[in-house]
Every structure is written in C-alpha cells, then in structure tokens.
Structure 1
C-alpha cells in the first residue's frame, strides 16, 4: 500500500497565502494538488496545503518557510479505499417517503417506502448532506400537496438522486445535468440500477 504526504501551514493574509501556494506548485517533486482557503473560524488566517505522491523535498519546504514566514506540518497519508469506507460508514437516509441506501442495506427498505439505491461512487449525492436531504424532503412535501410539475431539471445532479426521487413521484420529462462527465456516467448507472433507465435524460452541461 503506497503512502502520500501533505504539507500544511497557515498564513495571516490572503496575498501571502496565494504567493506561497504558487511557490508550492513550482516545487520538485511537484505536488499533485495545492489548496489555499480562508479559515472559517473568524481568525483571519488562511490555510495553505500541498499534497504529494512522493516524499516532499524537505530542503525545498524549509526554503519556502524561510521565504514566506511559514511553518509546515508534514504528514503521511496512508492509501485508503474511500469507496469501501463510505460503504461501511454511511447508514441509510430517510427523507419523507424516500429511503436512500446502498446495496448492502437493501434488506432494510421499509414497507411502503420509495427506495433509492445509491452506491458509494465518484459523485456527490447520497442524501447525507443537508442540502440533498432537504431537497428530497421538499419533493416529498410537494407530492403530498398535490403538486404536478410539467418537467423537472436536476442541475448539478451528482448521483442524480433528486432526479430519481422526482421520477418516483411524477411521470414527466426529467433532465439531470452535471458539469462533470464522471457524475453523468454515475447518474446514468444509478438510473439503470433503480429501474429508471429511459425515464431520466442525463447530460453533461455547464449550468442551466
């Protein structure tokens, strides 16, 4: 099992943090990714982190520390099968009439529920995030209120869980779009796995 590495520090202003991030991108060996983010604790600090698939150059990091007034914390990141971990850790989600689950929980679907099978994969949308959960609950409430849409668009669909929820409720044209081609492939696979192939049009698109 291979090991990757992270180098993390904080900087007290945005220009300095961005300058350090750009300097990290020029390192050898080159990092696979560099992130610069403002911390959300009101401290005014900025996080700067770089990720490496090879051991980072300690001398190069020390030079950047001296030049930018930073202090890196370097950590090893063991290789993890995140999809397998998600399958183990994510419990089913109940949102109104909807029961979102992985195949490993297929025997737990309650009677009368609308099951939505979502396997752990490289796309957003398992129902655990508050936004997705809230949208599923909104679909449930709309159906209870007798709402009848003419069509449905799930924009930024990820796994297409919302499009599939709509397809369980209404026999109308449903489009699920995402800017990420991987998400579109996942959406198509999920529609097929849920018996909704042909009910949902999955397309790659940037925005509406």
Structure 2
C-alpha cells in the first residue's frame, strides 16, 4: 500500500522547532517523522510525516499541534509510490564523521581514511544510521569519554541499528551488550555487528528495559549508552544506578532540549553527577557519572 507524505518547508531554526513539536505530539503514534535538507547548504528543511490512511485527520492534528507557531508554512501532500525505500534512501545519505568515527553506507566504503574507525550502517528498519542528532551526539560523547577513560564492559541499551555498540567495540576493543525492546531491531543489530566484524565483542538480545537474565550475568557495566526517549530514560534511572559501576560513565540521548533538566534531576536523585550536555539539532546528549 502506498503512503502519503505530509510535509512543511521552513528555514532551519523554524524547521527544528516544528520537528520538535511534532515529534513530541506524535510520540505515541508510531508514525515516521523526519527532517532533512533537500538541497545541501540551502538552509531550507522539510519536516515530513508519513501515513497510510486518515490523511485528512492527520493534517488536522498537525495544524492543531502547531497552532502557536507564528507564520506557519502550509502543510503540503505528496503521494509516495510503493518502492524499496531502504535502498532508495541510501542514495541521499552522506557519511557522518565524528572524531575518528566514520559512519557510512555500503555505497561510501571508498571514503574511509587511514585512522578512521569505520562503521558501515545502511538505512533499514532499525533506528540509527548516525545521521540523526541523537546518534551523532552519542558518538561525540563517546569520543570524549574514550580519550580519558578505559571502560572494560559496556552496555548499549535500546541499540537500534547497533551503531553505538559497534563504535564502542571497535574503539575500545571491549565486550558490549546490545539490547533492544524490538526484535526486528535486534535482528538488524545482529546483522550489522557481523557486517562490521565484531561478533566476538558485541552480544545482542531482545529485552525491555533491564528485564532479562542477561543483565544479571553481564553487570556491572562501567559504560552505558542509552539513546531512547526522555520519559523511559527517567523511569530507568534506578536500574541504571544498579547496573553502572561507581565511577562509570552514562551517556543518555533521545532527549529534547526542554526535557534536559527533568532528566538530569531524575538521575541526580539516584546519585549521578552531571558532567556535560551537548546540544545538536534540537536534541541533547547528556554525560553523567556515578
């Protein structure tokens, strides 16, 4: 069945505001939402929501959620034909460089330089190609942490495509447990781990939160990265404290800028110390320590 793309076109700052509002408003609907720059360095972005039915009702909800935004651009429609969008989307994905990390698709393998820690992730069913601000923010935090710390055991909670687990495994050469609530994501993660040559270091499991016996066997961790969403991250704060070693580092993302204080407060109540917050594309990545 074909989809309809509802989209708004706006300059970067307004586009990021629109994306943040829509992402929050439709968080529980499971609808694909994206923000991208159709023409590189143009400063003009499109925010898109994809739907298969009740398009009129969706447009009404979009307009209602954005009613407080001044000079709101019109909501436009585009019928999206059935095709292999996973393969097609790769044509527009540019490599992402964060420190020594190079996240690239199979079509850009030739761009690897001497000294790069290359991570090959093709766009697919699981979240995390490195292009989203939260994933890039986590990679940047890992660059800083691995310069000064020597973790021995790591956890990537909510692994998605496993890009972060692979990054830690390749950079630190340590065992990493990668878990996700979605079995489809876990399957994609496992395939990416094999593709990147680290199956001996990264172990993947399907698990909601910390509810799996694998955690009892693998804990404690001295590095945990969790790129999820603010509300579940706050709920997980006590479990994070129980599974992270004293002096260990915790990297959190999937958090909007306006949610930062609430997340830091939730973890402060569990004995975590705030180290640094990095903002990127309307999202923040928070580094905490115990």
Q: TM-score range by the shorter chain?
A: 0.5 to 0.7
The alignment status of 1:122 with 2:148, answered yes or no, reads no
Aligned residues: 158
Secondary structure at 1:89's aligned position in 2? Answer: coil
Aligned-pair distance for 1:119? 1.3
Distance 2:132 2:157 in 1: 16
Structure 2, unmatched stretches of 5+, are 7-28, 30-51, 70-75, 211-290
Compared with structure 1, are the counterparts of its residues 140 and 79 closer, same or farther at alpha carbon in structure 2 (3 Å cutoff)?
same
Which of 150, 161, 164 is the equivalent residue of 1:162?
164
- State TM-score, norm by structure 1: 0.66
Compared with structure 1, are the counterparts of its residues 105 and 162 closer, same or farther at alpha carbon in structure 2 (3 Å cutoff)?
same
- State TM-score, norm by structure 2: 0.48
| Native 8 Å contact 2:117 2:171 kept in 1 | no
Which of 181, 184, 188 is the equivalent residue of 2:183?
181
| Aligned pairs (5 A) from 1:66-77 | 76-77=79-80
Deviations 1:133-182 (A, max 9, x none): 0111111111222x011321111111000000000122333111111111
Distance 1:152 1:133 in 2: 18
Per mean C-alpha deviation after superposition, the further-off stretch among 120-129 and 73-82 is 73-82
Match in the other structure for 1:132: 135
Aligned-pair distance for 1:5? 5.3
Secondary structure at 1:153's aligned position in 2? Answer: strand
Aligned-pair distance for 1:41? 5.6
Match in the other structure for 1:39: 65
Q: CA RMSD in A?
A: 3.0
Deviations 1:120-142 (A, max 9, x none): 21111111111110111111111
Structure 1, unmatched stretches of 5+, are 8-20, 22-29, 44-72
